[in-house]
């Protein structure tokens, strides 16, 4: 099966939006073992969209479209598909009901143009959108398919995973299976050097990717059945997962989910005291469903006075050591345990970016500390440099804090 | 002049790389007032690249290519251009000298394949690469042009700015300027309906885009000079910026930056009490450089006991009203002002996703509240639905809280 990705939206052609949707779909196709030979982008222009659909249909068996499913006049994807099929647009009752139900649930007022999203060509299928009003459009004829998804990334992702992926996986013959192994506290080049022998293999292949504050290895096997794939993958995955202390999890696991699982297994809780990360650490931990079972809460002690008043950092310590120091990070970790009545406490203090009052050499300097159930504290220093953007320093600092907590929690459920 | 962007590289088709080069070139074309009607991506495959070049040449006057200029066997862009021109590849003396000089300067050893980068079709021009060995290839005939750049983003950008942009600016007549206007608390369809008259205009054009928890209008003018563009833009921008209370800012402004600017102008501070957003609100506010001048800090009161102990929510209130309620949100806002010693307090409580203990109808329900300097509190309810992903509910809730705070802060610097 040959696929083409066709993205619709003038915002892409004027460079207002980076086309991450195309990348997401390309990854999805690759994971299913479906070859993608073309990607195309056109604007909200009927004639050119017509031409693009016809071209894609002529050279591919599966056309994945994104964008142009909104309620406004420049959203023309479904109309273009209808024209391509030589069909009119008709209101689909269940689609109209979906739009109305969504608006009712959110207590928002429908305007007439919202009903446009209930129009489909008669022979097309409706791809359900669990979150938004822009349902997808599915065409299947002559052994070929078009699947049109909305351009809103999280809606596209949800619809791909829940609707498209299972259908395509079932249809495919020879298959690809891959495992994503995740590492932290090590650079891409260094990890690649450590696993150099694996990078030359052909089945399974091993490919390194730099991710946000971590490095991933994708191990991919091709075979005739899932079992055969798994048999090829197992020994390589086992060896590559043994790279301590950097390996932390695989596939959907994230540092916050791994930390959460270990806290749950121990029946313990965590409290956070964040200065430079400004709440991002708490936010990442609470992205995980069920986090309320082990996250007690946090204090964003941005103001120095709050570090003193709410977390018990002695003013004299701040004066003597500086607010970004091992001593303050350690005291924040201990203070978080105490103030938030948690088993584990995490403290973070640093300079997320340069500015008035920040020592030149220290922009991007962060101290993270973890206080354990028996009160012992461990701290680590990290330097991300003055040129690293503020949001990245914040994110990297949460990675460092989560990784220290993960290592202290250990791999097993026992204390 | 009509342009097409043609990107070459299998890494794009398997989703290994996000195509930021296409976005960069699209922005560059838009800034020059050159219409880009198509973007295409093909892999490192000779036949398909041939076809893509011929198609682009047929429908565009300017074909901008990226990628495939490296020294290895899968780098085939220049060869494909030569075949398209019906010409052989010949070594270009100055190109060979450039490759040799670069290797000598870096004290690295040349291998024979490096000389591949000195091969060009005889009628093509060489686009200098100040940084790397991959020089670009320039074709001009029949009033049309191909410009092929390397795929390394830094090199592409440098060559675009130093070589291509000045040439195209000189050749082109008119130019484009655009302003991005930002709205919150209103859906895309509703906003489009309110500004329907503007969406039909041709100069400036007005186009709506749904963004993450907000809606944008891009106003774009075409004219012969920057001043003429600005004269066309000014009245439309003025009218569209008057859409209270939804309009909040333009271009690089964000809700957190606008709130920050207003707090700074008033010389006031804010403190946060977050339950379901788990620190994301504090994190977004502290993404803005200089946020320490007005963000005192926050309490992530995930655990109910912390709402009582740290923010003074009466246990009886939680029992009577429920933890997700107007009363608790209001009390959290007041408690944040008090506990964090701030002028303004923000409270957020909600169910970020369904789960044990969450009433079926209330998954995705959020209450936000803002307490002002004189103690008066205002609250709003928002419903995002049970199927909206947890992270999105969190993000939308921070939008709602920031927007309420923005509206209460008002547009002027006076209290």
Which pLDDT tens digit goes with each residue over B81-114? 999 999 999 999 999 999 999 888 777 778 888 8
* DSSP string for residues in A226-244: HHHHHHHHHHHHHHHTT-T
The reported pLDDT for the residue numbered B327 is 98
Pick from B111, B117, B112: which is nearest to B99 by CA?
B117
Strands A119-120 and B344-350, sheet pairing: unpaired
DSSP B141: E
Mean pLDDT (chain B) is 92
Inter-chain contact A154–B280, Cβ cutoff 8 Å?
no
- In tens, the pLDDT along B253-273 reads 999 999 999 999 999 999 999
Inter-chain contact A27–B14, Cβ cutoff 8 Å?
yes
The reported pLDDT for the residue numbered A172 is 65
Contact B206, B233 (CB under 8 A): no
Omega of the bond prior to B368 within 30 degrees of 0, cis? no
Pick from B392, B398, B412, B410: which is nearest to B256 by CA?
B398
**Residue A108 Cα distances to A99, A134, A154, B183, B382, angstroms:** 11, 16, 21, 16, 10
Place of tokens 């330097």: A383
Of A26, A301, A302, the CB nearest to B13: A26
Cα B9 from Cα B40, distance rounded (Å) = 11
Of B189, B285, B391, the CB nearest to A111: B189
Inter-chain contact A73–B30, Cβ cutoff 8 Å?
no
Q: What is the ipTM of this complex?
A: 0.76
Of A13, A73, A152, the CB nearest to B39: A13
The reported pLDDT for the residue numbered A55 is 96
Contact B368, B391 (CB under 8 A): no
- Given 3-state DSSP classes, what are the helix, strand and coil percentages for chain A, each rounded to the nearest 5? 45, 25, 35
- The DSSP element (H or E) to which A350 belongs, if any, is strand A344-350
Tokens, residue B277 = 């957003």
The reported pLDDT for the residue numbered A174 is 63
State CA A188 to chain mean position distance.
19
Pick from B314, B320, B316, B359: which is nearest to B332 by CA?
B314
CA–CA min distance B297, chain A (Å): 5
Place of tokens 């940084």: B131
* DSSP string for residues in A285-346: HTTSTTGGGTEEEEEE--SHHHHHHHH---HHHHHHH-SSSHHHHHHHHHHHHHHTT-SEEE
Tokens, residue A140 = 């299947």
- In tens, the pLDDT along B269-315 reads 999 999 999 999 999 999 999 999 999 999 999 999 999 999 999 99
The reported pLDDT for the residue numbered B72 is 79
- The radius of gyration computed from the CA coordinates of chain B, to the nearest angstrom, equals 28
Residue A203 half-sphere exposure toward CB, CA atoms < 13 A: 11
The reported pLDDT for the residue numbered A173 is 60
- In tens, the pLDDT along A180-221 reads 899 998 877 788 888 988 988 888 988 777 678 888 888 888
Beta-carbon count within 10 A of B216 CB: 18
Judged by a CB distance cut-off of 8 A, whether residue B189 touches chain A is yes
Q: At what angle do helices A304-311 and A326-339 cross, to 10 degrees?
A: 50
The reported pLDDT for the residue numbered A415 is 32
Cα A62 from Cα A76, distance rounded (Å) = 20
Burial class (CB in 10 A: 0-12, 13-18, 19+), B397: buried
Contact B140, B1 (CB under 8 A): no
pLDDT band at B329 (very low <50, low <70, confident <90, very high): very high
Tokens, residue B193 = 């309906």
Question: Which residues of chain A are modeled with pLDDT < 50?
Answer: 412-415
Judged by a CB distance cut-off of 8 A, whether residue B388 touches chain A is yes
Tokens, residue B116 = 């591949």
Inter-chain contact A15–B38, Cβ cutoff 8 Å?
no
The reported pLDDT for the residue numbered B173 is 63
Cα B370 from Cα A345, distance rounded (Å) = 29
Cα B25 from Cα B260, distance rounded (Å) = 33
Judged by a CB distance cut-off of 8 A, whether residue B286 touches chain A is yes
Inter-chain contact B300–A305, Cβ cutoff 8 Å?
no
Burial class (CB in 10 A: 0-12, 13-18, 19+), A104: exposed
- The DSSP element (H or E) to which A36 belongs, if any, is strand A35-42
- In tens, the pLDDT along B124-153 reads 999 999 888 899 999 999 999 999 999 988
* pLDDT reading at B413 higher than 50: no
The reported pLDDT for the residue numbered A412 is 45
Report helix, strand or coil for B65: strand
Compute, in degrees rounded to 10, the torsion defined by CA atoms B80, B82, B84, B85: 170
- In tens, the pLDDT along B52-77 reads 999 999 999 999 999 999 887 788 99
Tokens, residue A262 = 């270990």
Report helix, strand or coil for B66: strand
Cα A224 from Cα B334, distance rounded (Å) = 63
Inter-chain contact A72–B192, Cβ cutoff 8 Å?
yes
CA–CA min distance A270, chain B (Å): 11
Strand-pair partners of A81: none
Inter-chain contact B30–A14, Cβ cutoff 8 Å?
yes
Omega of the bond prior to B245 within 30 degrees of 0, cis? yes
The reported pLDDT for the residue numbered A413 is 36
Burial class (CB in 10 A: 0-12, 13-18, 19+), B244: exposed
Inter-chain contact B286–A295, Cβ cutoff 8 Å?
no
Contact B375, B342 (CB under 8 A): no
Of B19, B189, B279, the CB nearest to A280: B279
Place of tokens 């369904």: B354
Tokens, residue A284 = 């990442």
Judged by a CB distance cut-off of 8 A, whether residue A37 touches chain B is yes
* DSSP string for residues in B293-359: GTEEEEEE--SHHHHHHHH---HHHHHHH-SSSHHHHHHHHHHHHHHTT-SEEEEEEE-SS--TTS-
Residues 6+ apart with CB under 8 A from B217: B180, B181, B183, B191, B195, B198, B206, B207, B208, B209, B240
* pLDDT reading at B221 higher than 90: no
């Amino acid at each position: 099966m040959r696929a083409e990705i066709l993205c619709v939206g003038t915002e892409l052609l004027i460079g207002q939006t980076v086309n991450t949707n195309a990348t997401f779909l390309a990854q999805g196709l690759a994971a299913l073992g479906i070859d993608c030979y073309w990607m195309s982008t056109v604007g909200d222009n009927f004639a050119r969209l017509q031409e693009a659909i016809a071209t894609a249909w002529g050279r591919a068996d599966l056309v994945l479209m994104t964008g142009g499913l909104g309620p406004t006049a420049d959203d023309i994807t479904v109309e273009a598909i209808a024209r391509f099929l030589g069909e009119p647009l008709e209101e689909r009752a269940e689609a109209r009901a979906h739009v109305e139900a969504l608006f009712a649930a959110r207590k928002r007022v429908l305007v007439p143009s919202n009903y446009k999203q209930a129009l489909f060509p008669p022979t097309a299928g409706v791809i359900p959108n669990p979150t938004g009003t822009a349902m997808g459009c599915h065409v299947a004829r002559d052994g070929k398919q078009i699947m049109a998804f909305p351009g809103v990334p999280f809606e596209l992702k949800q619809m791909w995973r829940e609707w498209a992926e299972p259908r395509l996986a079932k249809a495919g013959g020879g298959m690809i299976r891959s495992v994503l192994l995740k590492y932290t506290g090590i650079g891409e080049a260094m990890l690649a050097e450590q696993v150099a022998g694996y990078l030359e293999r052909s089945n399974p292949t091993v490919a390194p990717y730099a991710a946000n504050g971590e490095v991933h290895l994708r191990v991919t096997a091709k075979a005739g059945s899932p079992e055969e794939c798994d048999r090829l993958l197992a020994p390589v995955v086992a060896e590559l997962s043994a790279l301590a202390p950097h390996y932390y999890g695989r596939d959907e696991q994230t540092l916050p989910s791994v930390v959460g699982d270990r806290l749950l297994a121990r029946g313990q809780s965590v409290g956070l005291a964040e200065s430079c990360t400004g709440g991002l650490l708490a936010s990442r931990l609470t992205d995980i469903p069920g986090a309320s079972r082990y996250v007690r809460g946090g204090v964003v002690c941005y103001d120095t006075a709050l570090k003193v008043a709410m977390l018990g950092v002695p003013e004299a310590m701040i004066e003597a050591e500086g607010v970004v120091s091992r001593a303050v990070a350690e005291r924040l970790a201990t203070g978080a345990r105490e103030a938030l009545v948690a088993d584990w406490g995490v403290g973070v203090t640093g300079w997320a970016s340069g500015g008035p009052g920040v020592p030149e050499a220290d922009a991007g300097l962060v101290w993270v500390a973890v206080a354990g159930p028996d009160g012992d504290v461990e701290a680590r220093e990290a330097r991300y440099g003055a040129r690293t953007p503020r949001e990245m320093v914040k994110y990297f600092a949460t990675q460092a804090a989560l990784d220290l907590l993960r290592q202290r929690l250990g791999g097993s459920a026992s204390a």
